Amino acid sequence: MFTPAPPSLDAIFAALADPTRRAILTMLLEDDMAVTDVAEPFDISLAAISKHLAILAEARLISQEKRGRVKWCKLEPDAMRAATIWIQGFGQFDPLDFDAFERFLAAELPEEG
């Protein structure tokens, strides 16, 4: 198809809900990567990684371009921006207990590396 359907918030948030996929996105922040290289640090099969990448691509969080036998994966920030925009539709949150928030982040973020 020439004009593919826009990614849904369903697809975007669902894609982001999996820790493996979030880790993949973080890896792609560094550089574009081939599927095999994406798979390398994980303990799951290459086929499973391939599926994860398909889900990320479906949500348009990444794009995939095949050059030769290698399929390159590239971060596509637009979909993530769409997610934040939706969330920010919830308005200016009240200015808030930043200490508690920092503690929350300190506890949460190491989980992802």
Partner DNA sequence: AAGATCGTCAACCGAAAGGTTGAATATGCC
Partner DNA sequence: GGCATATTCAACCTTTCGGTTGACGATCTT
Q: Which of residues 76-95 bind a second copy (CB under 8 A)?
A: 77-78, 80-91, 93-94
Q: Does 1 bind a second copy (CB under 8 A)?
A: no
Residue 31 is a binding residue for a second copy (CB under 8 A)? no
Q: Minimum CB separation from a second copy for residue 77, in Å?
A: 4
Q: Is 44 in the site for a second copy (CB under 8 A)?
A: no
Nearer to a second copy, 14 or 35 (CB): 14
DSSP the chain: --SPPPPPHHHHHHHHT-HHHHHHHHHHHH--EEHHHHHTTSSS-HHHHHHHHHHHHHTTSEEEEEETTEEEEEE-HHHHHHHHHHHHTT--PPP--HHHHHHHHHHHGGGG-
**Interaction partner, residue 54 (a second copy, DNA, none; CB < 5-8 Å by kind):** DNA
